[in-house]
Structure formats: C-alpha cells, structure tokens
Structure 1
Amino acid sequence: MIVVALVDSDSYLKWGAATLDRVVPDADRRLVIVANPVMPSAAQRRAAVATTSWSGADVPVMTVDAAVAHVREVEPDAVLVAMRGPMAALVLAMLTELPRRPVLWSGIPGIALPARRKALVYRAQADLMVVHSHHERRDFAELDRLAGLDHRFALSTLPFLDRRASTGDDVVLAAQALVPITRASRASLVARFVEAARRDPERRFVLKVRALAGERQTHDERWPLDGLLAAVGDVPANVVVRSGPMGDVLDRAGALVSVSSTALIEAVARGIPALAIDDDGVDDALLNTIFRGSGLLGSTAELVAGRFRHADAAWAADNYLHDPQQDDALGHLEALRRARDAGELANRAPARSTRGGALRRAWDRRTALGRHDGSALGAVALVIGSPLRAGVRLTARWRSNARR
C-alpha cells in the first residue's frame, strides 16, 4: 500500500506523520507540506517529526498544484489530508477530481471535542474520518447524522501517545493558543505558575510554548504566555521557557498543568499527575468540557499548593486512553481501497456552497493559500469577494441586532 500525507501547519504535521506511523506502519509512506500562510518553520518541522519515521529528515514543501501533481504521479492507494478546515476542503476537492483518485481520509489532531459541525463540513469529501476516542466517535457520528453528511468514522489511538512512565520531577505548564481566552486570564495563569515556583524553589517549573517569536501556529496566539512572563516581575531562577517536542519535556515531568491541551492526555498516558485549570469555568468555549468526570479539573490555587491528580480510569478508557487493540482505522482503509480498486468508491459531494462557479473556487483557493496562490483568477476573486463578504457579514450582524 502506498500512502501520502499532505499537511499544512505544525500540529497537523505532527499528527499526520505520527498517524502514518501508527495506522499504516508497513505501507510505503510519503509526507509533503503544502505551502500556505501557517506552514511550520524549520525548527517547528524538526520538533513535529522528532518522534516519527521522519526524524531528522527534510520534509519537502510543495505548492498545492505541485502536491496534487505528485499524487497523480505516485498514484497512492490513499491520501491523508491532514490540514485545517479551509485547506482540507480545497485539497480534498482537487484530489476528488483526479482521474484515478485515491482513498481520501482526514481527521483532527489532538482533542477534537466539543464536536463542531464545521469540522465535518470542511471534510465532507473525505471517505474516512479518523477519531481518537469512543467519546469522539459518538459525538461526531451524532452530529454527522444531524447534518446528513454520512461520514464513515474510524477509531485510532492518538498517534503521539507514549505510555512509558516518566521519572522526572519538573512541573510543566503547557501553553495553548486559544485558551485562556482573555489577556487577563492568561496573565493570571502565568502569575500563579510563577507563584507556585517561588513556593517550591527546589523544583524546576517549565513553561512549554508551542512556538517562538515569529513562528506561525495552527491557531494564532494573541498573547503568548512567555511574553506575559516578563510582566510578572521578579521571575525566580527555577522558571524556564522551553519549546520543541512535548515528549522531550514530558520525559522530565513530574506534573503537568494546562487548560485543555492534548498534553494533559499525554501526561495521563505516562502516569504523570496533572491539573486541568478551571479558573474561568468549564465551557465549550474553553475547550475543557471533555474533562468533566476526569478528576483532573482544579484551580490555580491547587497548582500553587502542588496538588495534582490522576485521571479516573473509566473516564480515561472512554476518552483517548482506550485499549489500542480496539483501533480499526487500518481495517476501514483496506476496505475502502478494495472498493476503490473494484470501481465501487463513489466521489463524495462537497457540503459547502459552490455557488459562483469558477470565481467561487478561486476565492476559496485564495483565502486558503494566501500569497501562496499564484493564480490570476485568485487575485480577481479577492478584489471582488472581499467587499461582498464584508457586506454579507454586516447584514447578518444588523439582522442579529434587530432580532435582539
């Protein structure tokens, strides 16, 4: 079996490479970064693939057209579209038009709950959606049924989970781009982390960041935590900032703190006590409702006091830490490949509006690729489409205000 993964950002590169290793370890595997506005830096690439078969390798970067041409030339059995929503929709549509298209599969890295309809709509043309827990499968399947999209779901353990026990003692704060949401809440989290470090001077406290200054991420980080650290004042010497692979940091961790990061799941897998911070509550907007019933939710007061927890076993089995023997993604891929080879794999229709014809397709391409779209029609679509979109949004806002 030949399998190609097309990726766009740092988290999708990490997930795409690790997913190929976990699901199709015996396949002829290829990995390509598609040029786009948030593609990872050289340092981010090295960190993303550090624990995969591509460790130390130079992952090629191609334009979207070159990547699709590569797929046409290689004629793989399957292509993993490991990309953010708009990019995934664009690339899936292009691959669907190939004369002998491969099986198309996709998914979302890390914790994908709460389930979002948009995640399914953007990936409507994928033959297979990978989920990482029984809980995800239930919620996405129900959402899919309500949306009438008829996806096929496959279970696969989070590909970068490492179940080796950690023997370290560091307290790690895993930074996230989206949560906490406000600057004040982010600054408060950093300040409490520093306070905990002052109370325990013999222990190292590691602020683990996703990116360094100037590097792009899957989600833009408006107020990076390491930037807020400077505003705390006298930062003790036992507080350090680290980037790079999360696995390297967890090797030396004795506790992990975050709001909703997948790093919490990685810590539980390795037996590291953890704390899911709930100072701002537990809400879908904070991406932390998944931790209800886990036993991990707690305040920064508990961080300062050094009270970390182990996850409830039943919750863990339903949420990302199931027995890997229950994974069925490879079986689904092989069944879809047989259907493709027999001429029985029908193309799936997009779920997003296609009104506007070629100009609409050019607009979607331009908004996904940014300056990496070299087409003349894309430039025209941007000039025409930007004021139209602004007008639509203004009208929608006016109607919403009028109803209120």
Structure 2
Amino acid sequence: MTDAAGIRVVAIADADSFVKWSAALLGAVPGLRPHLLLVRTPLTVSAAQERTALAGTALGPEDVTRVSFAEAAGWLAGQRPDVVVLAGRGPFVRLMGRMIDALEHRPVTVSGLPGMAIPAQRGALDYRRHTDLLVLHSHRELRAFEELGRRIGVQVPTALATLPFARRRQRLLRPERVRAEAVVGGGSGVAVAERPGPGAPVRPPATDIVFAAQALVPATRAERAEIAATLVRAAEAEPGRRVVVKLRSRPGESETHLEREPYHDLLPHRRPPNLVYSYDPMATALETAAGLVTVSSTAAIEATALGVPVIALDSFGVSKSLLNTVFVGSGLLGGRSEVVSGRFRHPHPDWLRDNYFHPEAESTWWERVERLVALRRSGALPPRRVPAAKGGSMHEAWHRASVLGGEDRTVQGAMALAVGAPMTRALAAVRGRRTPSDGGTWADSTTDYTLEPNPFHDSLRR
C-alpha cells in the first residue's frame, strides 16, 4: 500500500459490485495506490470475479489481501491506514465499522453505493450513518439522500464523486447539442445526443446487443421469462449479430444480490447460436456493443460513457420497485419490441448533468477526504462510533452471523441465528404493513427516496 500526499487508503469489501466500485473509485485518484482487503463472507468474490472487477482499474493482484473477519482487525492495526473505504452492503458496513471502532489508530471511514442509488433507500443511509463521509454520484442523489436524512433524522456528511464508470464519457461532453441517429441492425430511431469533440476516441464497428442482467429486477419468474423470450426473438431477427447475455456470476459463485430466477434457467438450452453468455467485464462487452439493454443496471451509465445507445426496458412499468425511475426524462425508456427491432437511443443532454454526468470539477469527494484526514490527525474530528446493539451481546452475535454466515463459527452466533431468524421475519412483516402518511413509499413515484423497508427479501445469508 503506497500513498498520495502521505495518505494511506484501504478499501474493505466482499461482494463483486463493491469490489469493482471501490477499486475504480480509488484507482482514479491521481498518485494513489490503495490496497483492497477482501473479507470472507458468503458474498465474497471468487478469484475469477476479482479479476473481472479489477479489470481496467489501477489495482492488480498484488494490491489485494484476503482475510477472515477475525484476522481483519489485526491486519488493519498493522497497516495503520489513514482512510478506510467500507465497500459492502449495509450490514457489512456496520459490522466493519464496529471493528474499526476498536482500533487504537482510528482511520477516517468512507462509505458509498456501487451504482445508481435512486431511489435513496432508508436502510442504505441508516446502515452508513456512522461513517465520516458518504460518497454519492449525482446531484440528484445528493438531493434525495439529504431529503431522506431529514425525514428520518439521520445526518451523514456527503460528497459528490464521478461514478467511475461514467468518467470516459465525461471527457467527451460538449455544450453543442445535435440530432444524432441511433441505428442498430435493421431498425433506426432518432435521439438527442451530444457529439464528441475533435480527438475523441472512435469505437471500432460494433454489432452486438448486450443485455445487462440484474438479480433483483424484474422480480417475478414470468417477467424474467418475457425478457429471455425477447432476447431469443432479437437473436432470431438478425442471425448476423450476437445477442450477449452479460452475467456477473458463474454457477456456484455469489454476487451482491441473490438471484432467484437466473437467466441460465430461463433461456432455452437449444437457443440460437448467436445468443451467447458473457462473464467478461462490462467494459469489454461494450467494446463490441451496438446497443445495451437493461431494466435499471448501472451498465446503462457505463454504456452512455462509451457512446453506446441504450434501451432501459419499461415493458413492466416504471416504478421505484423496478429501480428505473431514474430514467424518467432520459429518453432511454423503451419496450421489448424496440429491442428486437434495434431502436436504441442516446440520453437527452438535459438529463445528463443531473444524472451522473456532471462536470469533473464538481466531484470534490477526495478533497473532502483530505480535509477529514487533516482533522483526524489534529484530533479535531471526533469518531462517529457505531453504537452497541440494543439487545446486548446476543444481538451483536446476530449481526455478525448474519453478515459472515458460515464464516462465523461461534456457538453464540449459531444460537443467535436460530432464535433471531424467525423474529426478524416477523418484525419485517410488521414493518411492511406500515405505510408512511406523507409520501416516501415504494409506490410513490413522485419522490426519489423511500421510508419503507426494502421489498426485495434479499438476505445476505446464502
């Protein structure tokens, strides 16, 4: 682990999307050589997923250390980083935060979310409320989390970063607006786009349709089967182009969210020969893409960054529960028939600045980190400690075992899971029946935040 301006930085992560995000975020800081500490949980990336997540970043295998949770505190005590980026799902962030609270040399703690975070979710903010800084990636997200924090009484310092996967397009934006034709295969459509200026990189000829699969949306088997059927039709409509199903985990691997209806099970075994699977990094898949299809994946931002046109599927509606309200006004929403005919489009310029493509100069998160480090070194930054669980040691054991799963081999953890699992399900059912009286529900499309619990039933235990 080397430093930039004397600052030593470690990212602590487990799941694939958080590994990719933290490596790309920190790797973009000039002169910084961060280290990545992978803690073993049921979600921790495989070696193959690690290589995919680190592809295109400044981090290599020599910058990664794998440890158990029991080893993590000793490793951090020996390394004495100035900054720790807690890169994981909310319960993981809270567990690692408690571990950091016990360190003699306390680093500045930074947290964030690995992609688009609209709607801003109550749990996402609440679990990260005790970090020194929350990194967000658009002006819209800043407003949403500020309003969410006001509604639930949580104050977390926030800062704006450029979404790592939007950075290449950021350099191409020009104030001139033009009418640009998006043509894929035999179909055509007109969309407003911004023309790259002189000297912008030119992509090689590309014909693939790339589908960015997601674990959470759409949720039902019937809807996911409709997408699978659409991909088959798109492949059959033009045999000379590939339809690439971009997956993030191979059979037997885990990913950030639990996929209950994988596309491997929904696509026919005797599928068209031009309908293929890919486990390559998304950036690699997009090199040969003429268009990207997704419901609400951050891959849409990555494609836009490369000038690849997009269809954000609205065939199942536009709602917070589909995580696609962020695309309202973008010009990217489209249906399954448009995928088959290849009518992809570029986003409207007016949408870009508020949604992930703000000028680079407005991304001041690292400057904020530097100031926090200076304050911590001078003793002027009090720690934001994670409070002890209200239920005492058994509740603490429940939190730990919920995150670590089989990696927690304590008797107390096993007992806590046996007692706590049914209680948690009952509590979730009670909370699910409570409806905020003045907006902020998952059904309310007029706000960019939610006060209700997460509806996805997406347990960390696998």
Equivalent position of 1:320 in the other structure: 356
The Cα of 1:56 is off from its aligned counterpart by 4.9
Return the letter of the residue paired with 1:199: A
Residues in 2 aligned to 1:235 and 1:178: alpha-carbon distance in whole angstroms = 24
Matched-pair contact (CA < 8 Å) for 1:166–1:253 = no
Displacement after TM superposition at 1:390 (Å):
4.8
Q: Give 1:15's match in structure 2, choosing from 16, 21, 35.
A: 21
The one-letter code of the counterpart of 2:217 is: V
* Equivalent of 2:245 in 207, 213, 224: 207
Q: Quick check: 234-243 or 50-59, which moved more?
A: 50-59
Task: Find the counterpart in structure 1 of residue 416 from structure 2.
Answer: 381
Equivalents in 1 of 2:115, 2:260: separation in Å? 21
Q: Paired residue for 1:101?
A: 106
Q: 1:252 aligns with which of 268, 288, 303?
A: 288
Alpha-carbon distance in structure 1 between the residues aligned to 2:378 and 2:15: 34
AA matched with 2:378: A
2:236 matched residue in structure 1: 198
- Measured in 2, the distance between the counterparts of 1:267 and 1:350 equals 38
Task: Give the structure 1 partner of residue 256 of structure 2.
Answer: 218
Change (3 A) 1:183 1:386: closer
Give the alignment partner of residue 355 of structure 1, picking from 348, 371, 390. 390
**Mean Cα displacement is larger for which, 384-393 or 240-249?**
384-393
The letter for the 1-side match of 2:361 is Q
Query: Which residue, 86, 92, 106 being the options, matches 1:87?
Result: 92
TM-score, normalising length: structure 2:
0.82
Distance 1:339 1:172 in 2: 46
Partner of 1:4: 10
Relative distance call for 1:93 and 1:203 in structure 2 (3 A) is same
Match of 1:76 in 2: 81
Higher percent of residues as helix: 1
Q: For the structure 1 residues 330 and 32, does the alpha-carbon distance in structure 2 shift closer, same or farther, using more than 3 Å as the test? A: same
2:55 paired with 1:50: yes
The reply to whether residue 270 of structure 1 matches residue 275 of structure 2 is no
Question: What does the per-residue CA deviation read over 1:97-129, in whole Å, with 9 as the maximum and x for residues that have no partner?
Answer: 322210000000011111001101111110000
In the TM superposition, 1:22-33 aligns within 5 A as 22=28, 24-33=29-38
More displaced stretch, 60-69 vs 107-116: 60-69
TM-superposed deviation, 1:387: 4.5
Write the distance in 2 (CA, Å) between the matches of 1:95 and 1:129: 17
| C-alpha displacement of 1:58 | 7.2
Partner of 1:127: 132
Kindly provide the amino acid, as one letter, of the partner of residue 40 in structure 2.
A
Distance change >3 Å, CA 333–CA 41, structure 1 → 2? same
Instruction: Answer whether contact 1:366 1:378 (CA < 8 A) is retained.
Output: yes
Note the C-alpha offset of 1:240: 1.2
Q: Does 1:181 align with 2:219?
A: yes
Q: 2 CA distance for matches of 1:283 and 1:119?
A: 18
**Structure 2 unpaired stretches of 5+:** 1-6, 170-200, 435-462
Report if the CA contact (8 A) 1:296-1:310 is conserved.
Answer: yes
Cα deviation digits, residues 253-284 of structure 1 (max 9, x gap): 11111110111111111111110000000000
User: Which residue number in structure 2 is paired with residue 150 of structure 1?
Assistant: 155
Structure 1 window deviating more from structure 2 (53-62 vs 123-132): it is 53-62
Q: Secondary structure at the match of 2:159?
A: strand
Say whether the 8 Å CA contact 1:166–1:254 is kept in structure 2. Answer: no
Distance 2:386 2:63 in 1: 33
Distance, in Å, in 1 between the alignment partners of 2:61 and 2:35 is 15
Residues 295 and 324, structure 2, Cα contact 8 Å, conserved in 1: yes
Q: SS where residue 104 of structure 2 aligns?
A: coil
| Displacement after TM superposition at 1:396 (Å) | 6.2
Asked if 1 retains the 8 angstrom alpha-carbon contact of 2:109 and 2:132, the reply is yes
Indicate if the aligned counterparts of 1:85 and 1:123 stay in contact, CA closer than 8 A.
yes
Unaligned residue ranges in structure 1 (runs of 5+): none
What's the secondary structure of 1:255's corresponding residue? Answer: strand
Q: Indicate conservation of the 8 Å contact 1:264/1:276, yes or no.
A: yes
Give the Cα–Cα distance (whole angstroms) in 2 for the partners of residues 58 and 97 of structure 1.
25
Contact 2:308 2:346 in 1 (8 A): yes
Q: Distance in 1 between matches of 2:203 and 2:326?
A: 24
- 1:303-314 matches, within 5 Å, as 303-314=339-350
Shift in CA distance, 121/76, structure 1 to aligned 2, threshold 3 Å? same
One-letter identity of the residue aligned with 2:362: Q
* Shift >4 Å, 4+ stretches: 390-397
Which stretch of structure 1 is more off in the superposition, 298-307 or 372-381?
372-381
**SS of 2:64's equivalent?**
coil
Task: Identify the residue that residue 170 of structure 1 maps to in structure 2.
Answer: 208
RMSD over aligned Cα atoms: 2.0
Partner of 1:290: 326
The CA distance in 2 between the partners of 1:391 and 1:112, in whole Å, is 28
Number of the residue aligned with 2:279: 243
Q: CA separation in 2, counterparts of 1:91 and 1:250?
A: 35
1: distance between equivalents of 2:313 and 2:430? 38
Q: Name the SS for the 1:160 alignment partner.
A: helix
Structure 1 counterpart of 2:268, one-letter code: A
Look up the equivalent residue of 2:279 and give its one-letter code. Answer: S
